[in-house]
Chains A and B, each alone.
Chain A
Amino acid sequence: MESFLLILRRDFRLAFRRWSELATPLMFFVIVASLFPLAASPDASQLRDSGSAVLWMSALLSSLLALDGLFRADAEDGSMEQLILSPAPLGLIVLAKILAHWVVSGVPLLLLAPLIALSFYLPADALPTLIIALALATPTLSVLAAIGAALTVSARGGGAIIGLLVLPLTAPVLIFGTRATELAVTGESTLGPLYLLAALAVFALSLGPLAASAAVKVAME
């Protein structure tokens, strides 16, 4: 547990010393979402219809982009070798890294999402549900992207491969996330998809770090 907190603290400190890397996926999220109305129609009712889909797709892509380098820096400077030869279980270390990354990249995304939603004329009543759904979905996306990042840690051009590996697996998150948002927009009960998102998050967080740590070990050989 102590080593979990230690890794968490180290990764927070590192994140703040290279904050520009954190800003990139967030800016990507904002820009993709704001370009959409230019390509589609600026009509309010059409924007409201496509808004939740656009939001979720941009959030999905930006979290993939953010997680791409999760293990690469550690692999390149040799820290990963030291972490593997440590008394702490690697799964716990991986979970700490994912959590640290989620706090610095996922939480700002949660805060930005309502602003984007308003620009798509989503009703203000739907915003709390949107934030809850994103808060439940982004940890799952982070874990999935972490498994992809672990598998591609030593592959050149990892960014593109990670998309191929991970995007098909994100389908359930996308389905339940957009469903919850749409139900909230039309004012119906959103509990069903939210429970399913929560179940997915529990599943991903309990097994994902083990898969990612096994992948890291294979990649470091």
Chain B
Amino acid sequence: MNTASPPQLRPFKVESLEVWRGESCLFAGLDFAMGPGQAALVTGANGSGKTTLLRVLAGMTLPAAGAVTWSGTPVHRLDPAQRADIAYQGHLDGLKKELTVAENMAFYSTFWNGRQVLEELLEELRLNECRDRQVRYLSAGQRCRAALGCMRLKPAKLWLLDEPLTNLDARGAELVAEWLTAHTNAGGLAVVATHQREHIAQAASVEIEL
């Protein structure tokens, strides 16, 4: 594991984490710590627990043993202000099907107290022509891009991305890699679970194999 920064500067810590799904142990004794500017790549076969790990890191699932802490607080006990430090994008896109792309993004932008960069984001994501279309009429790839756009609006320090590239085309994957590099260069942290490691590898400084 990367130990470039001294321990006190690494606010995101995972200690002897053990996670079970039903009767089977997915992994045990997972330890790592991350500091500003670091991105971790989580790889592993289907069913190895990548999604569960990210949910545990987001504080939405409790581990069987071990602890995940963000600035010294266990992630499932963060106070609301700290919770906003974490952006999570899982398999579900978090978009309302009956609302348009722009309405969804405007909602999250205000809700997160987020960055007012909606127009630039729509441009960057090539969603301008379908901005006023309801999400239910979008393709899987467009939906995926809109969800990433919502995530980008959150002024979060830690990104937890679960298979962000699955439905994206080559340009979309490039954009995610660019965003990751920009995010870590600005002192952000990220944990990305993916099967397409070639797109993300150069932005990642830590690799976790399950």
Residues of A bordering B, CB below 8 Å: 2-3, 6-7, 10, 13-14, 17-18, 76-79, 81-82, 84-89, 220-221
Q: Which A residues lie within 8 Å of B108 (CB)?
A: 82
Q: B103 touching A13 by the CB < 8 A rule?
A: yes
Q: Which B residues lie within 8 Å of A78 (CB)?
A: 90-95
Q: Which residue of A lies closest to B60 (CB)?
A: A220
Asked if B15 is an interface residue, CB under 8 A from chain A, the answer is no
Contact of B107 among A2, A6, A81, A87 (CB under 8 A): A6
Contact of B99 among A13, A81, A85 (CB under 8 A): A13
**Do A86 and B84 contact each other (CB < 8 Å), given the known contacts A6-B110, A6-B111?**
yes
**Do A81 and B90 contact each other (CB < 8 Å), given the known contacts A6-B107, A14-B96?**
yes
Q: A76 touching B60 by the CB < 8 A rule?
A: no
Q: Which A residues lie within 8 Å of B84 (CB)?
A: 85-87
Contact of A3 among B58, B86, B111, B150 (CB under 8 A): B111
**Do A10 and B107 contact each other (CB < 8 Å), given the known contacts A17-B98, A88-B80?**
yes
Asked if B88 is an interface residue, CB under 8 A from chain A, the answer is yes
Q: B61 touching A221 by the CB < 8 A rule?
A: yes
Q: Which B residues lie within 8 Å of A14 (CB)?
A: 96, 98-99
Can you list 12 residue pairs at the A/B interface with Cβ under 8 Å? A2-B110, A17-B98, A17-B99, A76-B92, A78-B90, A78-B93, A79-B96, A81-B58, A82-B150, A84-B60, A86-B80, A220-B60
Q: B111 touching A81 by the CB < 8 A rule?
A: no
Asked if B191 is an interface residue, CB under 8 A from chain A, the answer is no
Asked if B32 is an interface residue, CB under 8 A from chain A, the answer is no
Greatest chain B CB density within 10 A among A6, A7, A85 is at A85
Q: Which A residues lie within 8 Å of B59 (CB)?
A: 85
Secondary structure of the A side of the interface? helix
Q: How many residues of B contact A (CB 8 A)?
A: 31
Interface hits, B94-137 → A, CB 8 Å: 94-99, 103, 107-108, 110-113, 134
- The distance in angstroms between the C-alpha atoms of A154 and B96, with both chains bound, is 18
- The distance in angstroms between the C-alpha atoms of A18 and B80, with both chains bound, is 31
Q: Which A residues lie within 8 Å of B80 (CB)?
A: 86-89
Q: Which residue of A lies closest to B160 (CB)?
A: A85
Q: A77 touching B111 by the CB < 8 A rule?
A: no
Q: Which A residues lie within 8 Å of B88 (CB)?
A: 81-82, 85
Asked if B203 is an interface residue, CB under 8 A from chain A, the answer is no
Interface hits, B34-63 → A, CB 8 Å: 58-62
Asked if B81 is an interface residue, CB under 8 A from chain A, the answer is yes
A127: min CB distance to chain B, Å = 36
Q: Which B residues lie within 8 Å of A82 (CB)?
A: 88, 94, 108, 150
**Do A86 and B111 contact each other (CB < 8 Å), given the known contacts A13-B99, A220-B60?**
yes
Q: A86 touching B112 by the CB < 8 A rule?
A: yes
- The distance in angstroms between the C-alpha atoms of A2 and B84, with both chains bound, is 15
Q: Which residue of A lies closest to B80 (CB)?
A: A87
Asked if B83 is an interface residue, CB under 8 A from chain A, the answer is yes
Q: Which A residues lie within 8 Å of B33 (CB)?
A: none
Q: A7-B111, A77-B94, A87-B84 are known; give 9 further A-B pairs, CB within 8 A.
A: A6-B110, A13-B98, A17-B134, A78-B94, A81-B92, A84-B83, A85-B60, A85-B83, A221-B60
